[in-house]
């Protein structure tokens, strides 16, 4: 019942119709990403996900991690699975060939990540973090740092962590207190960090902690923060491991979900200071960390997608299997049917399916923007793609993780009473999913990022640009999709008006703009998801017109794309107007009352 079957057709079709992998493969540097190679990678990754990672997802939840004397032991099978993951070269897909990467597009890496995350999110959180660190080191490290660390991080022989939070500094990173004292060419790090995912574990021979800290005399707030690379074991100049660094895992948390992923409290410098090397400029820690976080935020969106797909598959299998009740439209002869035959169950399944498809479209589209931002020969084109990637990052993170939670909850519901029993497995997805709207910046923070940094800072330019691009895509739609295109055009108009309203509000009172941030983000995700699904449906229609068999997809698969888009349009897109109303609603009802009036 908890099997995972890689949805290769959905992945392929989204890659081609939404992310335009063919165009990405034409960019300089991505020539390797031929259709054949992409196909081979997807098929092979699917096997690893289904055969290596998925089978240990449940036992990982049951056993959790054990902590004894500073050592963390991951659940049964994790060490072996991680070894096979590294040996397969799976960690290296999207990185620079110079240090051992395969130089493939992020879009492809995200599609592969979807399968890792669906198969075993607790496991795949480890490479997610390592990959964010690689991105960051590639962008901000010195040549020496890159040469010493990247080869091991790119293969995954070593893992990496992000150390931001402290007890008094969660979303409020600027409040952190961890100190860094210069000591020759290096620094001595002292402080405590909390919520460090994979802060300590037994999967790799070394763990490289990326630690935000303050230099002596640094200014208050985020401007005074620098980033340090602090390995568990010091690294000799020849790359071999040296002595143990002055850091330790104090404890691990007892969590609601992703129990196979250890969440550590880390102590640095109990014995005089942990040895760290500065990355980037002094006081430039947040810029470096944002490179890492932006990468991680999109991949966390992909976690939401993967988990939702997994929950959908499990619910669908149950609904096909579970015989209960008779056909509500039948003649009352009492013949029992599988519950997938009940209209309300079908509505729920279709809602799950459409939300998964919309999240996939959003995630891959953001990946494509990243690849164009890296690979376009023309600078203006690169900048435009980067602006799109920046705009979409908070939407991908927040919208896909909200969907992850909602779909996991629907998955429990489809199972009825069985869904509440842990042995069924549906409840694990519900528990695991709940971290996603929280970590890597809560979804409230994403919404604020979207409004304050992505919308207000450039006075709406990137948002208007992107809306215009989507309008262009709608214009091409006719036939069965003409009605959908009209509704979606109205949705885009709402999105634009809500954005304009927020721009005006921010001029008057930033609190009023902030009050509308979350519904704006939901509006954004709802409308853009709908446009992308309609685009996929239009591509399916074209293929059907051109003779489906020749294109490698079954005719019924292509027809299903049309049903999914039409369902979304009629049943989910109407929520856009509700979100738009909430953006522009008078916020004095909740901004003005005294705190004690809540």
Q: Find residue 186's DSSP bridge partners.
A: 183
What distance in Å separates the CA atoms of residue 111 and residue 129, rounded to the nearest whole number? 17
Give CA–CA dist 84/14, Å, rounded.
28
What are the angstrom distances between the C-alpha of 382 and each of 289, 308, 369, 370, 375?
22, 32, 9, 9, 7
Nearer to a copy of itself, 22 or 591 (CB): 591
Q: Smallest distance from the beta carbon of 160 to a copy of itself, in angstroms?
A: 19
Token pair 């500094």: residue: 169
Closer CB to a copy of itself, 92 or 450, in the complex: 450
- Residue 273 or residue 437: which is nearer to a copy of itself going by CB? 437
Catalytic, 309? Answer no
Residues 6+ apart with CB under 8 A from 468: none
SS3 322: coil
Residue 276 has phi, psi (to 5 degrees) of -135, 155
Considering beta carbons, is residue 266 or 389 the nearer one to a copy of itself?
266
Nearest approach in angstroms of CB 548 to a copy of itself is: 14
Residues 6+ apart with CB under 8 A from 312: 349, 352, 353, 356, 407, 411
| Residue 338 β-bridge partners | 323
Nearer to a copy of itself, 260 or 517 (CB): 517
Comparison of 384 and 566: residue with beta carbon closer to a copy of itself: 566
Please say whether the beta carbons of 545 and 560 come within 8 A. no
**Shortest Å, Cβ 468 to a copy of itself:** 26
Helix axes 555-567 and 8-17, enclosed angle (nearest 10): 70
Rounded least distance, CB 91 to a copy of itself, Å: 26
- 277 close to 228: Cβ distance less than 8 angstroms: yes
C-alpha to C-alpha distance for 184 and 175, rounded to whole angstroms: 27
**Minimum CB–partner distance for residue 301 and a copy of itself (Å):** 17
Task: Find the shortest distance in angstroms from Cβ 479 to a copy of itself.
Answer: 16
Closest to a copy of itself by CB, 147 vs 544, is 544
Catalytic residue among 114, 135, 440, 541: 440
* DSSP conformation letters of 345-376: HHHHHHHHHHHHHHHHHHHHHHHHHHHHHHH-
Q: How far is the CB of 461 from a copy of itself (least distance, A)?
A: 22
Helices of type H across 88-155 = 106-119, 121-140, 143-155
The nearest distance, CB 264 to a copy of itself, in angstroms, is 13
Query: Is the CB of 34 or the CB of 168 nearer to a copy of itself?
Result: 168
3-state SS track over 62-90: HHCCEEECCEEECCCCHHHHHHHHHHCCH
Please report where in the chains the tokens 């003409």 appear, as a residue: 482
Burial of residue 262 (CB within 10 Å: 0-12, 13-18, 19+) is: buried
Residues 6+ away with beta carbon under 8 Å from 190: 178, 179, 180, 181, 268, 269, 273, 274
Instruction: Enumerate the active-site residues.
Output: 440
């Amino acid at each position: 019942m908890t099997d995972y079957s890689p949805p290769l057709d959905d992945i392929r079709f989204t890659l081609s119709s939404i992310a335009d992998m063919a165009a990405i493969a034409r960019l300089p540097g991505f020539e390797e990403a031929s259709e054949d190679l992409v196909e081979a990678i997807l098929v092979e990754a699917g096997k690893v996900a289904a055969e290596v990672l998925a089978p240990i997802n449940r036992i990982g939840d049951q056993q959790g991690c054990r902590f004894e004397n500073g050592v963390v032991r991951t659940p049964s099978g994790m060490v072996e699975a991680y070894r096979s993951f590294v040996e397969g070269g799976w960690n290296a897909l999207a990185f620079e060939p110079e240090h051992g990467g395969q130089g493939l597009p992020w879009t492809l890496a995200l599609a592969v990540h979807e399968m890792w995350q669906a198969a075993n999110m607790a496991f795949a959180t480890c490479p997610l973090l390592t990959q964010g660190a690689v991105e960051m080191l590639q962008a901000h490290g010195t040549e020496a740092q890159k040469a010493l660390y990247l080869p091991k991080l790119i293969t995954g022989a070593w893992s990496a962590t992000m150390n931001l939070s402290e007890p008094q500094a969660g979303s409020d990173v600027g409040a952190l207190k961890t100190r860094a004292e210069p000591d020759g060419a290096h620094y001595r790090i002292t402080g405590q960090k909390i919520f460090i995912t994979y802060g300590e574990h037994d999967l790799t021979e070394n763990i490289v902690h990326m630690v935000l800290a303050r230099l002596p005399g640094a200014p208050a707030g985020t401007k005074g923060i620098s980033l340090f690379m602090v390995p568990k074991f010091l690294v000799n100049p020849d790359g071999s491991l040296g002595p143990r660094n002055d850091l330790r895992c104090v404890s691990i948390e007892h969590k609601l979900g992703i129990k196979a992923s250890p969440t550590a409290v880390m102590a640095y410098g109990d014995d005089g200071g942990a040895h760290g090397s500065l990355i980037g400029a002094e006081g430039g820690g947040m810029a470096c960390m944002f490179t890492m976080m932006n990468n991680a935020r999109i991949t966390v969106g992909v976690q939401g997608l993967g988990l939702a797909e997994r929950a959908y598959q499990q619910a669908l299998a149950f609904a096909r299997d579970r015989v209960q009740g008779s056909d509500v439209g039948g003649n009352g002869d009492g013949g029992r049917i599988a519950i997938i035959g009940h209209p309300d169950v079908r509505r729920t399944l279709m809602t799950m399916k459409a939300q998964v498809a919309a999240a996939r479209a959003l995630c891959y589209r953001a990946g494509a923007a990243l690849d164009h931002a890296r690979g376009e020969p023309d600078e203006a084109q690169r900048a435009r793609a980067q602006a799109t990637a920046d705009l979409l990052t908070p939407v991908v993170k927040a919208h896909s993780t909200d969907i992850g939670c909602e779909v996991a909850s629907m998955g429990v519901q489809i199972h009825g009473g069985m869904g509440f029993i842990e042995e069924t497995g549906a409840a694990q997805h519900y528990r695991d999913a709940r971290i996603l709207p929280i970590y890597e910046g809560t979804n409230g923070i994403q919404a604020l990022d979207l409004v304050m940094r992505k919308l207000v800072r450039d006075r709406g330019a990137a948002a208007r640009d992107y809306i215009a691009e989507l309008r262009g895509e709608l214009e091409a739609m006719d036939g069965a999709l003409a009605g959908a295109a009209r509704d979606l055009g109205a949705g885009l108009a709402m999105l634009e008006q809500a954005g304009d309203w927020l721009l005006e509000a921010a001029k008057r009172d930033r609190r009023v703009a902030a009050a509308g941030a979350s519904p704006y983000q939901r509006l954004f995700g709802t409308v853009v998801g709908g446009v992308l699904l309609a685009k996929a449906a239009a591509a399916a229609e074209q293929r059907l017109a051109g003779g489906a068999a020749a294109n490698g997809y079954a005719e019924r698969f292509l027809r299903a794309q049309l049903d999914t888009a039409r369902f979304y349009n009629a049943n989910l897109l109407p929520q856009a107007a509700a979100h738009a109303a909430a953006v522009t609603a008078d916020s004095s009802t909740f901004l003005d009352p005294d705190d004690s009036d809540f």
